[in-house]
Structure 1
Amino acid sequence: MESIYQRIEALIAERGMTKKAFCQQLGISTGNFGDWKRGKTTPGTNKLIEIATFFDTSLDWLMMGRNPQREMVNEEKESYFFDDLGQLNCQVDQLTQQEKAFIRDYIEFTAYRKKMMKEEETD
């Protein structure tokens, strides 16, 4: 099985770049790149996204070596994920009381987290 490093190395070679040029363009230290090669560390999520974008490849392939499954796109005008009014087809009455409470708690938590992040930015 190929490692993330081996897939990155293949993308670098495919583009005809040097590893040093790749590191410079993406702001990766050669030490970190060497750690990836030795399996000591792996790229973080943000760096994986940056690498996938740079090489125009999928994260699924970069991380797991799997080819992405193409999703079918519905091009006909019919109910898809939306009802006739163009709204999400969420049937609230189908949720249990426990599920509704969880959603309310999550919304409150998200609002609190946003508030805290804004306060941190102003400090």
Structure 2
Amino acid sequence: MASIYERIEYLIKQKGLTKKSFCEQLNISTGNMGDWKRGKSTPGTHKLIEIGAFFHVSLDWLILGKTTTEILREGGEDYFSGQIRQLNCQSEELLQKEQEFIKEYIEFARYRRLKENEENS
């Protein structure tokens, strides 16, 4: 599966949904799905977060097709440190767009944890 659309399509089939039903549940227009399929566009960040949460998959897998979690390294230093593995990257080294992506990903992780806790309650 080389594209985001192919991974989304795979998840839809795995869950036994129709594309129409999936679009209705996530408030996605069928026109947008068509654009994703043709490669004219891809889902925005917020929609990717919703799709990942809906299917309980990581954004790494949804966006990149990665199946393993790796600690990012730059110059031999971990981006994570300490026993509770708090984020320890230097924000001034990141572009504003990169900082915003990280913040959105953290929001996604919190949202996903909340949903999992609700489901397990």
TM-score range, shorter chain: 0.5 to 0.7
Letter of the 1:8 partner, please give it: I
Query: How many pairs does the alignment contain?
Result: 79
DSSP 3-state at the match of 2:9: helix
- Which one has the bigger strand percentage? 2
CA shift in 2, pair 1:44/1:81, >3 Å? same
User: 2: CA distance between counterparts of 1:31 and 1:37?
Assistant: 10
Aligned-pair identity in percent equals 58
DSSP 3-state at the match of 2:47: helix
Query: Which residue in the other structure is 2:54 paired with?
Result: 54
Letter of the 2:48 partner, please give it: L
Specify every segment of 5 or more residues in structure 2 that has no aligned partner in the other structure, as ranges: 72-81, 93-121
Query: Which residue in the other structure is 1:27 paired with?
Result: 27
Query: Which residue in the other structure is 1:37 paired with?
Result: 37
Larger Rg computed on CA atoms: 1
TM-score of the aligned structures, taking structure 1 as reference length: 0.57
Letter of the 1:18 partner, please give it: T
User: 1: CA distance between counterparts of 2:11 and 2:67?
Assistant: 15
TM-score of the aligned structures, taking structure 2 as reference length: 0.58
Pairwise CA RMSD of aligned residues? Answer: 2.6
User: 2: CA distance between counterparts of 1:81 and 1:58?
Assistant: 21
Query: Which residue in the other structure is 1:80 paired with?
Result: 83
Runs (4 or more) in structure 1 with deviation over 2 Å come to 79-82
CA deviation map 1:8-65 (0-9, x unaligned): 0000000000000000000000000100000000000000000000000000000000
Letter of the 2:3 partner, please give it: S
Tell me: higher relative CO, structure 1 or 2? Use CA pairs within 8 A at least 6 residues apart: 2
